[in-house]
Structure 1
Amino acid sequence: MVVSHFLKWIDTAKVAERAAAASALAAAYVGRELPFEDRCAAEAALTLLLDDPSPKVRQALAEALSMSMHAPLQVIVALAADQPDVAALVLARSPLLTDADLIDRVAAGPVTIQKLIADRPVVSMSLAAAIAEVGEADACVVLIQNYGANIASLSFRRMAERFGHDGRVREALIADPRLPSDCRHLLLVKLGEALKTSPLVLALMGAARAERVTREACVKASLTLIEGTQSGEHAALVEHLRLRGDLTASFIIRVLAHGKVDFFGAALVVLTGRDEQRVRTLLSSGQDVALTALFRSAGLTDATHAIILRALKIWREVANGRRVAGAQEVSWLMLKELGGQTAGGELASLVKSIHLEALRENARGHALAIAAA
């Protein structure tokens, strides 16, 4: 029998010879070229090779067996627990390793092993969840960039929570079209926190101004985020903002001034607990009395109702094609509702700031268009 001769010879063979023989025997085994009795003997020989003192022999074994569905399971599991240069081949490719095997290696292994597992051709949702929960930042970056990975929204959220301060992870997450909108907002907040504590920003602006500027930047970025968010994700984003305490009356007024009526409706659904279709019907054609009752139920103070109704009526006309308007005109008419430029109070200051921002944005766009002509 060929295998019996192999076992007698291997004790005296050199490392290079043993490695070549191990590779040949493994290839014959997975190629299913051997008769049944020889296969049994070959499996025993492959198992014995796990004890070879040279990692080159075990590496040759791993190379030959790593991609086969027919490799001996006990050999694959043992190779997966070997030293990193041997285990890497199996962990990165073997279809025989279960999620439980891989999760154990993620939890116990160094970042190099975590990265190999995160880069497998197919990563299940449960394995991705384990990497998101306990993996190092580098492993999470590899996972995010692996489009063979099935990543749940919760796993995206965990990575944003754990590593939102890390520029590499944050950049990878933001570039991923699968990232849920609430995670994008969380990353905006993390970026704002990083900026306002930056030594350079603090030296240029001081703590108080840095706080204000980054807060305003986050609000503007949130509006841009809403614009790029599909309506099906509005409810999740609203709930995220509510839990963070960011779904304030001033934010809702700003959202409506910029024409995000669908998002405004989603916010009302969350805040009131009313049926979504009923809220949409009221926003599109409801009378003032019914709308003010809805706003009151959402916790919006009576002082805000008039300007919200004014904005809503303008956006209705825009939607019906009876008017052309943007944030600049809408915010101006909201300000007129409060008494115009001379109006005082916190609410008037908010609407005035929205109007001035819209003026600046439109002027900037006009100037750029002229320059490009």
Structure 2
Amino acid sequence: MVVSHFLKWVHTARVAQRAAAAAALADAYINRDLPFEDRCAAEAALTLLLDDPSYKVRLAMADRLSMSHYAPLQVINALASDQAEIAALVLSRSPLLSDADLIDRIASGSATIQAVIARRSSVSMSVSAAIAEVGEADACAELLANTGAAVASVSLRRIAERHGHVARVREAMLANPLLPPDCRHMLLVKLGEALRAAPLVVALIGHTRAERLTREACAKACITLVDGTRMEEHPALVEHLRLAGELTPSFLVRAVAHGKIDFLGSVLAALTGQGTARITSVLASGRDVAVVALLNSAGLPTPVHKPVLIALKIWREVANGKRVAGSQEVSWLMLRELGDPPVDDKLAGLIRSIHLDSLRENARCHALAIAAA
């Protein structure tokens, strides 16, 4: 009876009155205080109010119904398709919307709607996958910042592929401790591409030099990335670098010079197909003939063999406590092994640059230590 009076009155009431009445009716419905017949009538009235010409009435309904498990499903779905301000309330809160409903809204909605869904208190892997696949950069950034979102590794890779060039997305991804190492490398490459194409960088140093410097910077950063990668993740990172065409002899020389022997073992296992245990044994204590045979099997060019052998011997002594050395000393001895004049100028140039970088880094650390004393 109360609802019938409401329906007669609502056509003549002012907007503010209709909005307040709609909110009160929604409260009564979700609190389940009404008898069954009145509840059915209230549901019909709420459905009718979806056609109200004022968005304020629908906004009042959305505000009261959006967090309830007992709201009428047809009303929630209609409000979720309303104008952005109203839809945002429902899409960000309603527990009645299924993953399929949310995925539909992601596929057809604006960037604002996608970001609203990405900020929900709980986001399933399937919804995260939809955002990763079709979501705009802002939506992906919101998803990555949402601690209540379950994001699969494959979705992280897709976001890196699609939006890794966007600074906000890149920063959010790199802040994630669970980010797979191959994604981290992909983001390093994206950053290098962004720097290389930056108008200021090109204007200052030219396109050719910018390309060379960013390539070297990415290689150095990748060595640092190996440090933060767990042993069990090495095979995945190796495969990613192989597919990206970056598992080059020069990269492996750089890795050996910096003492990444465990990583070298994973690389050789991938390139030769031999067992990890055997390769580890050869690198740890094998004779030169066995190491050279392993390097040949991996397809590494002959000029690389001598510097790699001398580096392995030094790192073995370091590991056994017989010697104290770092990349500065190792790179110098690798360079000396190439002879004077060197047998390979390009390889000598690479090792020389590694040595100079190590000198610079050690000097910087020394200066900082003096300043801190």
Which residue matches 2:143?
143
Separation in 2, partners of 1:283, 1:27:
72
* Segment of structure 1 superposing worse, 175-184 or 242-251: 175-184
Per the TM alignment, residue 342 of structure 1 is displaced from its structure 2 partner at its CA by: 4.0
Which residue matches 1:187?
187
* Segment of structure 1 superposing worse, 10-19 or 102-111: 10-19
* Segment of structure 1 superposing worse, 135-144 or 57-66: 135-144
Per the TM alignment, residue 168 of structure 1 is displaced from its structure 2 partner at its CA by: 2.3
* Segment of structure 1 superposing worse, 233-242 or 173-182: 173-182
Which residue matches 1:244?
244
Q: Which amino acid aligns with 2:149?
A: A
Q: Which amino acid aligns with 1:219?
A: A
Separation in 2, partners of 1:19, 1:274:
73
* Segment of structure 1 superposing worse, 144-153 or 162-171: 162-171
Q: Which amino acid aligns with 1:210?
A: A
* Segment of structure 1 superposing worse, 239-248 or 275-284: 275-284
Instruction: State how 1:1-373 maps to structure 2 within 5 Å.
Output: 1-339=1-339, 342-345=341-344, 346-373=346-373
Alignment deviations for residues 28-77 of structure 1 (CA, whole Å, 9 cap, x no partner): 22122223332222222222221222211111111111011111111111
Separation in 2, partners of 1:274, 1:72:
62
Q: Report the secondary structure of 2:34's partner residue.
A: coil
5+ long unaligned stretches in structure 2: none
The verdict on how the C-alpha distance between 1:122 and 1:277 changes in structure 2, with shifts beyond 3 A counting, is farther
Runs of at least 4 residues off by over 4 Å: none
Tell me the TM-score normalised to structure 2 length: 0.94
Q: Which amino acid aligns with 1:343?
A: P
Separation in 1, partners of 2:110, 2:98:
19
8 Å Cα contact 2:265-2:280 kept in structure 1: yes
Separation in 1, partners of 2:337, 2:210:
33
The verdict on how the C-alpha distance between 1:46 and 1:208 changes in structure 2, with shifts beyond 3 A counting, is same
8 Å Cα contact 2:22-2:60 kept in structure 1: yes
Q: CA RMSD in A?
A: 1.8
The verdict on how the C-alpha distance between 1:286 and 1:40 changes in structure 2, with shifts beyond 3 A counting, is farther
Alignment deviations for residues 127-152 of structure 1 (CA, whole Å, 9 cap, x no partner): 11111221112212111111211122
Separation in 1, partners of 2:224, 2:278:
27
Q: Report the secondary structure of 2:246's partner residue.
A: coil
Per the TM alignment, residue 123 of structure 1 is displaced from its structure 2 partner at its CA by: 1.1
Per the TM alignment, residue 285 of structure 1 is displaced from its structure 2 partner at its CA by: 3.3
Q: How many residues align?
A: 372
The verdict on how the C-alpha distance between 1:275 and 1:42 changes in structure 2, with shifts beyond 3 A counting, is farther
8 Å Cα contact 2:303-2:343 kept in structure 1: no
* Segment of structure 1 superposing worse, 97-106 or 345-354: 345-354
Separation in 1, partners of 2:362, 2:33:
74
Alignment deviations for residues 308-353 of structure 1 (CA, whole Å, 9 cap, x no partner): 23222322222233322111111222223323x5424133332222
Per the TM alignment, residue 371 of structure 1 is displaced from its structure 2 partner at its CA by: 2.8
Separation in 1, partners of 2:181, 2:4:
63
Separation in 1, partners of 2:93, 2:276:
47
Alignment deviations for residues 196-233 of structure 1 (CA, whole Å, 9 cap, x no partner): 22222122112222222111111111111211222232
Separation in 2, partners of 1:152, 1:173:
13
The verdict on how the C-alpha distance between 1:212 and 1:334 changes in structure 2, with shifts beyond 3 A counting, is same
Q: Report the secondary structure of 2:279's partner residue.
A: helix
Identity of aligned residues (%): 68
Separation in 2, partners of 1:296, 1:253:
14
